[in-house]
Amino acid sequence: MDLCQIHVDRCKGCELCVEFCPKHALEMSEGRNAAGYHPAVLAHPDLCNGCALCAEMCPETGIEIYRRQKRARQDATDQG
Amino acid sequence: MTTAMNQQDGTNRTPDTEQLVDLKCVFERPQALSDKPFHYCPGCSHGTYHRLIAEMIDEFGLLDRTVGICPVGCAVFAYEYFEVDMIEASHGRAPAVATGVKRSLPDRFVFTYQGDGDLASIGMGEIIHAAARGERITVFFVNNGIFGMTGGQMAPTSLLGQKTTTSVDGRDPRTTGHPIKVCELLSSLEGVAYLARVPLTSPKNINTCRKYMRKAIRAQTEDVGLGLVEVLSPCPVQWGMKPGDALHYIDETVVKAFPPGEFVDKLESPIKT
């Protein structure tokens, strides 16, 4: 699963997420969504580090961000 | 789609089910925000400000005792987007309605959401007197310097020289006056507990806005006085700019006329959160 989940049908194509992505992982799609906009898509999932700047700038709250849990620290707290 | 990509990538990635266990959602829709898609134009900061207010309601645990007052203007349908009780006020009269709600139900958190055509134009009298009386309400004020909903007419907050549909040669101070700076205007009133202005133009400024909104809410919950946060919002459609360019325009031009910062802060203790 990608760290950045874009709800394509909420997108209005304002391109703010593309502009503010520091890793340039997002691009505008050639296709259209249900409302007729060109939605943003995560074109390079391998570049995304889940910094959430795109989600912060999205006026539609159309982006969810997931991050990997730190396994080592979790294990340490479990043990003691 | 993801599975196919994993196969293309090679072997380093674990299957989807195991990854799901490792992944934690760190950014999602706040609980106080409804699922309805916003009706605002692409790139408009109203949606961002709605989200921030919903985040604050969640953060302060006010979901079950919040009453919001909607304005007339672009945000006239704001009651559709919050999972709290909302009242639609007459044009500019949101602070007066909020006064009545807060005085009859003092345990509720009462906020108004107003644009510049609502608060700085027709409702200027209401906000000044609510501030002078020191009503325990929180005002979330959106300043985009134009009447967005009615077609881009000149607003009281339009900049000098700004071209709108009713000032096609740019705003001329000899005939149409100067922009009204609401925070500076209200800062002389004793009843105001917190006043701040911030442009919603970058993730950093959005975080600053969160900080200011926490204080404006505490001004009410700690019974100090009226709290107001003014955000400088873009109106890409009526300004005739791309959303990204409109944000740069705010950072370069609008902040010179409307300097960001805290104007009044009568809260005593430092912020707890």
Distance, in Å, from the CA atom of B129 to the CA atom of B73, rounded to the nearest integer, reads 21
Which pLDDT score, from 0 to 100, does residue A2 have?
86
Region B211-226: what's the mean pLDDT?
95
- Alpha-carbon distance values, B173 to B147, B153, B159, B161 (Å): 18, 16, 10, 8
CB B192 within 8 A of CB B136: no
Which pLDDT score, from 0 to 100, does residue B269 have?
67
- Alpha-carbon distance values, B80 to B51, B60, B84, B96, B187 (Å): 13, 21, 10, 21, 32
Which pLDDT score, from 0 to 100, does residue B16 have?
53
Which pLDDT score, from 0 to 100, does residue B270 have?
64
H or E element, residue A40: strand A40-42
| Structural domain of A52 | 4-79
Closest alpha carbon to B45 in B188, B194, B161, B206: B206
The reported pTM is 0.89
Residue A59 with chain B: CB contacts under 8 Å: 38, 40, 42-48
List pLDDT tens digits, range A44-63: 999 999 999 999 999 999 99
| % pLDDT > 70, chain B | 90
List the structure tokens of B126.
């209401």
Give the closest-approach CA distance of B28 to chain A in angstroms. Answer: 5
CATH entry, B40-265, from 3.40.250.10, 3.40.30.10, 3.20.20.10, 3.40.50.970 = 3.40.50.970
List pLDDT tens digits, range B51-110: 999 999 999 999 999 999 999 999 999 999 999 999 999 999 999 999 999 999 999 999
| % pLDDT > 90, chain B | 89
List pLDDT tens digits, range B58-74: 999 999 999 999 999 99
Query: Is A33 or B11 the better-scoring residue by pLDDT?
Result: A33
Domain count of the fold of chain A: 1
- Whether A45 sits inside 8 A of B5 (CB atoms) is yes
CATH of the domain at A54: 3.30.70.20
Which pLDDT score, from 0 to 100, does residue A69 have?
79
Q: Is the pLDDT assigned to residue B34 strictly greater than 70?
A: yes
Distance, in Å, from the CA atom of B115 to the CA atom of B239, rounded to the nearest integer, reads 16
List the 226-265 stretch of B: residues with Cβ below 8 A of A.
Answer: 236, 242-244, 247
Distance, in Å, from the CA atom of B219 to the CA atom of A40, rounded to the nearest integer, reads 39
List pLDDT tens digits, range B116-166: 999 999 999 999 999 999 999 999 999 999 999 999 999 999 999 999 999
Which pLDDT score, from 0 to 100, does residue B2 have?
45
Which pLDDT score, from 0 to 100, does residue B10 have?
42
Residue with tokens 């950072």: B251
3-state SS, chain B, equals CHHHHHHHHCCCCCCHHHHHHHEEEEECCCCCECCCCCCCCCCCCHHHHHHHHHHHHHHHCCHHHEEEEECCCHHHHHHHCECCEEEECCCCCHHHHHHHHHHHCCCCEEEEEEEHHHHHHHCHHHHHHHHHHCCCCEEEEEECCEECCCCCEECCCCCCCCCECCECCCCCHHHHCCCCCHHHHHCCCCCEEEEEEEECCCHHHHHHHHHHHHHHHHHHHCCCCEEEEEEECCCHHHHCCCHHHHHHHHHHHHHHHCCCEEEEECCCCCCCC
- Whether B244 sits inside 8 A of A66 (CB atoms) is no
Distance, in Å, from the CA atom of B244 to the CA atom of B165, rounded to the nearest integer, reads 22
Among A6, A8, A14, pick the best mutation site for testing chain B contact (most B Cβ within 10 A): A14
- Whether B47 sits inside 8 A of A15 (CB atoms) is no
Give the closest-approach CA distance of B271 to chain A in angstroms. Answer: 22
List the 27-56 stretch of A: residues with Cβ below 8 A of B.
Answer: 37, 45-46, 50, 52-53, 55-56
Residue A68 with chain B: CB contacts under 8 Å: 22-24
Task: Flag whether residue A65 sits within 8 Å of chain B, measured between CB atoms.
Answer: yes
Sort residue A50 into left (φ over 0), alpha (ψ -120 to 50) or beta: left
